[in-house]
Amino acid sequence: MNKKSFIILRKTAALLLILFFVFGFNFPFVLKNSQAAAVSSLNGQYTVKLKSAADFASLLGLSGSIKRLFIGSSSPVFQNIYSFNSNFSLSDLKNSLSNKYEYLEPVGQTVAAQVVVNDPGFTSDSQNIDKEWGIVKTGFNQAWEKTVGSRNNIVAVIDTGVDETHEDLKSINYVPGFNFISNQAIGIGSNSDDNGHGTLVAGVLGATANNGIGVVGTNWNISLMPIKALDSMGKGDANTIAQAIVWATDNGVQFINLSVGGVGFGHDTTLANAISYAFNKNVLLVAAAGNDTNTTGQSLDQNPIFPVCDDNNYNMIIGVVATDQNDLKADFSNYGRNCIDVTAPGKRILSTINFDPLTKKSSPNSYAYASGTSMAVPFVVGEAALIKAVYPTATNIQIRDRIISTAYPVDSANLSQCGGASCQGLLGAGRIDVLKSLQSVISQNFSEGDLVKATDLGVVYQILGGQKRLISSFVFNQRFSSTPLKYAVSTQLSGYPEGPYVTPNDNTLIKIDTEPDVYMVVSGQKMPITYQVFQERKYNFSNVNTLSFAEVASWPTGSFLPPLEGTLIKTYNNKTVYWVIGQALHAINFGFYMDRGLNIFPIMLAPDSDIKSFAAGEPYIK
């Protein structure tokens, strides 16, 4: 689970909380939902339609500046119309112009309708970090004029559970979930969260609007499916997350919120297969970039974490970086070109909570400020649910591409936030823009999988996963030599963020020209190969392809390529023996070793560091 920080507003201090909201925030607000655009007069500005062009001289001396309107129109309806400023009152102007005009009116200013709710934590100020600044920063309050969501959209919150009894969450529409820790169903109206993290996520997604308490979620109408895959300490494993993804998919969700991940989640075939299963069933998955280094975050290109980087080379997961109210990458947030698609608010986010992370005690009906990429994920899931509410037939790919293509670029604001250097190209397409993503027409010139040659640059891209991915000459000759091309100039591709290079075919052996390390390409990742495994698999250096540093560095590094299936392996200094089954190393005890008759087979020896770098499976014990 991601590390995070909390400032909790405890229910035990309810009186202080109420006084703070009432007197500190000047509440209550007034709801103006679905209000028609208001029109108000701007004093001193007028529009006049004169009966004749010859009457124009009559305006001179009555106004400070005059502007003729509809110059290009030949229609009599729009002839001789002028806008002007004047210090005279409307009645004085009418008297002065006498019968020389057809109409004379004050200019009205149209003000776009605003949705304002009466929840104390809501704000229309994106700089007010003491309230829900992230809602307005991302444009949800404007998007609510178009839709407030739909209960037909079901989001699986795979987390520590959700407190459905919380005062600000009990009105949400829930569907039955599952607790993978206790292996029991989660009934509607129950509290399955013994940590608080999942309840924080649920608050960002769907806290009740206009109930006069707490906060408001990104969607006023939404259905949540609580799935408990993390224990009371916020810990879990890849197998449980995989089970949760498959269960949610089989039970009808359209979206999966994965505010989980970190260095403890290595690349896992079962998890990758679960993600692929959900994606191919038209489910949209969104995952956190992670908070693995509190000072600067880390590059996921160099140190990928999962599940955010487990996109199976088809961008099956929208990866989210956390930013603050100024669009600066939060200091704790990871970043990278490969696994990141967008940014969203993730610093000092006010939401619902039911558990005090400091005292480890229950704190019902409470609220907290939380920071972490975990909090950025539900903003993106909330955007996806609103898109689905407006366009119910949209596929997960279409929704993903809308989110990415309409994001607001923030690279220019982040000149030193990525390891002390520029974040150029490392924050995906930028901060989500919810209102823009709901536009009826979003111009995308190409389809998923198209090969497009940018004629002004002389390079070929593949449109894949909502990104444009460069194709090197080696990969083009290996994979696409007979594939037809489309042609464009680079400006026509500007709506697509630049992703990693397109990878060679699976099982291709590669290396960088300046380094000795050899890798095998598997599912969009490069898997390092140890000398022992290279020898055991009878690979030949004449079959290793040398590629550029930029190309190879753009692909995430997976776990070490394992020895052949059935191989026994141990370190030089440790007695533990591992059995390679299903591309993973399973520790076995002596009883299992003897019972299966494995004692007749040779054991491969490897350095301690190598053992730790292979994918790990469950121990086999007798």
**Known active-site residue 197:** yes
Question: What whole-number distance in Å separates Cα of residue 344 and Cα of residue 377?
Answer: 7
Question: What whole-number distance in Å separates Cα of residue 320 and Cα of residue 2?
Answer: 13
Question: What whole-number distance in Å separates Cα of residue 1 and Cα of residue 275?
Answer: 18
Residue pointed to by tokens 């100039």:
489
Instruction: List the structure tokens of 182.
Output: 């206790």
Judge whether 334 and 292 are in contact, CB under 8 Å.
yes
Judge whether 219 and 148 are in contact, CB under 8 Å.
yes
**Known active-site residue 371:** no
Element (H, E) at 109: strand 101-111
Buried b or exposed e, range 587-615, using 16+ CB within 10 angstroms: bbeeebbeeeebeeeeebebeeebbebbb
Name the residue among 531, 484, 224 with its Cα closest to residue 352: 224
Which residues are CB-neighbours of 515 under 8 A, at least 6 positions away?
Answer: none
HSE at residue 328, side-chain half, CA atoms within 13 A, is: 12
Instruction: List the structure tokens of 419.
Output: 């390891």
Name the residue among 168, 210, 197, 180 with its Cα closest to residue 377: 197
63, 192, 194, 197: which one is catalytic? Answer: 197
* Strand duo 38-50 + 101-111: pairing: antiparallel
* Strand duo 577-581 + 568-571: pairing: antiparallel
126, 150, 159, 433: which one is catalytic? Answer: 159
How big is the chain, counted in residues? 622
Judge whether 63 and 90 are in contact, CB under 8 Å.
no
What is the amino acid identity at position 50? L
Question: What whole-number distance in Å separates Cα of residue 98 and Cα of residue 324?
Answer: 59
259, 374, 554, 559: which one is catalytic? Answer: 374
Name the residue among 127, 499, 564, 548 with its Cα closest to residue 341: 499
DSSP three-state, residue 418: strand
Question: What whole-number distance in Å separates Cα of residue 411 and Cα of residue 431?
Answer: 10
* Strand duo 66-68 + 81-85: pairing: antiparallel
**Known active-site residue 194:** no
**Strand partners for 305:** none
478-487, long-range: CB < 8 A, 24+ apart:
478/504, 478/505, 478/508, 479/504, 479/505, 480/451, 483/451, 484/451, 485/451, 485/452, 485/453, 485/460, 486/446, 486/450, 486/451, 486/452, 486/453, 487/452, 487/453, 487/455
Three-class secondary structure assignment of 249-281: HHCCCCEEEECCCECCCCCCHHHHHHHHHHHHC
Judge whether 288 and 372 are in contact, CB under 8 Å.
yes
Question: What whole-number distance in Å separates Cα of residue 214 and Cα of residue 236?
Answer: 30
Q: What amino acid positions are annotated as catalytic residues?
A: 159, 197, 374
